[in-house]
């Protein structure tokens, strides 16, 4: 029996995936999450064989959630599901440890094939992902560009995402289970590293770097 966790902030997407997957022999949906932080919690509780992970979710995006799940449960396999074919999303999802990357408009047959592929510990990319992205990933080209993933810590990225989502300092402290003062410290560190001096600037950066999406 393959245990699967579904993580997507749109209930209609989760319902559709559940309906299709439960028709497959040997598949059990063990949990559903509507944000990245809940996905991490449920993954650690239910220990699924596979997580189908939306890339852009509130509170904690799918790339960060992937990184956190695999750090705690390395044997879990993750397929990133996204409407974005942009190479930033694809390469970051793969570098975070996802073995699959599918576009949301793919046919169910492709998802089924992707599941079987990643369960064999092999990479599966949606057929629409262009060859340049695949080549860039396989060559593992390391660039020294200033990106959220090269200069910010995990916690700094999480704080920046939540700020960009419009959360207050107090709300962020509650979500991350840290003090307000600590949130302020992370925010200031991120702003200093990025040479940004406003919340609007942080929000713009978060959108540009794919930490959040305007159309998620």
Residue 144: band (very low, low, confident or very high) from pLDDT cuts 50, 70, 90: very low
Asked whether 126 and 102 are in contact (CB, 8 A), the reply is yes
Residues 18 and 118 in one domain: yes
Question: Which single residue is written with the structure tokens 């492709």?
Answer: 110
Give me the pLDDT at residue 14, please.
95
Q: What is the extent of the structural domain holding 76?
A: 2-139
Give me the pLDDT at residue 214, please.
64
pLDDT above 60 for 143: no
Mean pLDDT score of the chain: 88
Residue 132: band (very low, low, confident or very high) from pLDDT cuts 50, 70, 90: low
**What are the tens digits of pLDDT across the range 14-44?**
999 999 999 988 999 999 999 999 999 999 9
Average pLDDT over residues 75-100: 90
Residue 141: band (very low, low, confident or very high) from pLDDT cuts 50, 70, 90: very low
Model-level pTM? 0.71
> Per the domain annotation, does 214 fall within a domain?
no
Backbone torsions φ then ψ of 146, nearest 5 degrees: -85, 95
Q: Is 179 helix (H, G, I), strand (E, B) or coil?
A: coil
Indicate the residue among 110, 139, 168 that finishes a domain.
139
Residues 9 and 112 in one domain: yes
81 membership: H or E segment, kind and range: strand 77-82
Whole-Å CA distances, 214 to 69, 70, 140, 168: 25, 27, 29, 19
Give me the pLDDT at residue 87, please.
79
Residues belonging to the chain: 216
Backbone torsions φ then ψ of 50, nearest 5 degrees: -145, 140
**Dist. CA 48–CA 59, nearest whole Å:** 21
- Tokens representing residue 184 in the block: 């302020």
Give me the pLDDT at residue 85, please.
81
pLDDT above 70 for 148: no
pLDDT above 80 for 105: yes
Domain count, the chain: 2
Residues 132 and 162 in one domain: no
Give me the pLDDT at residue 138, please.
61
Residue 126: band (very low, low, confident or very high) from pLDDT cuts 50, 70, 90: confident
> Per the domain annotation, does 87 fall within a domain?
yes
Residues 89 and 170 in one domain: no
pLDDT above 70 for 122: yes
């Amino acid at each position: 029996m393959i245990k699967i966790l579904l993580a997507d902030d749109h209930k209609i997407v989760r319902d559709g995936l559940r309906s299709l997957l439960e028709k497959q022999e040997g598949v059990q949906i063990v949990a559903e999450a509507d944000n990245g932080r809940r996905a991490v919690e449920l993954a650690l509780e239910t220990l699924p064989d596979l997580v189908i992970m939306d890339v852009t979710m509130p509170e904690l995006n799918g790339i960060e959630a992937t990184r956190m799940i695999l750090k705690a449960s390395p044997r879990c396999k993750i397929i990133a599901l996204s409407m974005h074919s942009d190479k930033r999303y694809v390469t970051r999802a793969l570098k975070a440890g996802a073995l699959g990357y599918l576009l949301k408009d793919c046919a169910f047959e492709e998802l089924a094939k992707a599941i079987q592929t990643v369960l064999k510990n092999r990479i599966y990319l949606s057929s629409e992902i262009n060859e340049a992205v695949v080549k860039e990933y396989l060559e593992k080209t390391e660039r020294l560009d200033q990106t959220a993933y090269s200069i910010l810590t995990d916690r700094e990225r999480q704080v920046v995402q939540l700020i960009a989502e419009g959360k207050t300092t107090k709300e962020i402290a509650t979500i991350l289970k840290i003090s307000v003062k600590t949130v302020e410290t992370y925010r200031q560190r991120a702003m200093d590293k990025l040479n940004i001096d406003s919340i609007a600037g942080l929000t713009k950066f978060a959108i540009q770097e794919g930490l959040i999406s305007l159309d998620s």
